[in-house]
Structure 1
Amino acid sequence: MLRRFGSIAEIGNASPDELRGCSLYGETWSESFIAVRDLLSEGHREAFTRVPLDSADAALHRYLRASIGSSKHEIMVAIFADEAGYVISEEIVGEGDQGSLQLSLRRIFGKALKVEARRILLAHNHPSGNSEPSQADVEQTKALIDQSHRLGINFEDHLIVGRAHVTSMRARGLL
Structure 2
Amino acid sequence: MSERTSEEAAPAAPDHKDHRLRLRQRFRKTGEQGLADYELLEFLLFSALPRRDTKPIAKAMLQRFGSFPAALAAPRERLKEIPGLSDISIDALQAVHAAVIRYHSAELDRKRVLNSWQSVTDYLQAAMGHSDVEQFRVLFMDKKNALIADEVQQTGTVDHTPVYPREVIRRALEHAATAIILVHNHPSGDPTPSRADIRMTRQIIDIAEPLGITVHDHIVVGLRKNISFRSLNLI
Give the TM-score range, shorter chain: 0.7 to 0.9
Partner of 1:23: 86
Aligned position for 2:214: 154
The answer as to 2:147 corresponding to 1:91 is no
Q: Which amino acid aligns with 2:160?
A: S
The structure with the larger Rg is 2
The alpha carbon displacement at 1:31 in A equals: 4.2
1:11-67 deviations in whole A, cap 9, x for unaligned?
A: 33344677689337xxx5554443332222111112222221128711211111111
Among 96, 106, 114, the alignment partner of 1:36 is: 96
Aligned-partner SS, 1:111: helix
1:141 paired with 2:201, answer yes
Normalised TM-score (structure 2): 0.64
Query: How far apart in 2 are the matches of 1:18 and 1:161?
Result: 21
The answer as to whether partners of 1:55 and 1:168 remain within 8 angstroms in 2 is no
- Distance in structure 2 (CA, Å) of the matches to 1:33 and 1:56: 28
1:161 CA displacement: 0.8
What is the aligned-residue identity percentage?
27
Using the alignment, how far apart are the partners of 1:32 and 1:96 within structure 2? 26
Report the RMSD for the aligned CA atoms in angstroms: 2.5
Q: Which has the higher contact order (CA 8 A, sep 6+)?
A: 1
Written as runs of structure 1 = structure 2, the 5 A alignment for 1:1-16 is: 2=58, 3=60, 6-7=64-65, 8-15=68-75
Structure 1 CA distance, aligned partners of 2:107 and 2:179?
19
**What are the residue-to-residue correspondences of 1:77-88 with 2, within 5 Å?**
77-88=137-148
Contact 1:55 1:156 in 2 (8 A): no
Q: Number of residues paired by the alignment?
A: 172
| Partner AA of 1:144 in structure 2 | I
Inter-CA distance 42–131: structure 2 relative to 1 (3 Å threshold):
same
Which residue of structure 2 aligns with residue 131 of structure 1?
Answer: 191
Bigger helix fraction: 2
Aligned-pair distance for 1:107?
3.0
What TM-score comes out, normalization by structure 1 length? 0.84
Give me the whole-angstrom Cα distance separating, in 2, the residues matched to 1:33 and 1:120. Answer: 32
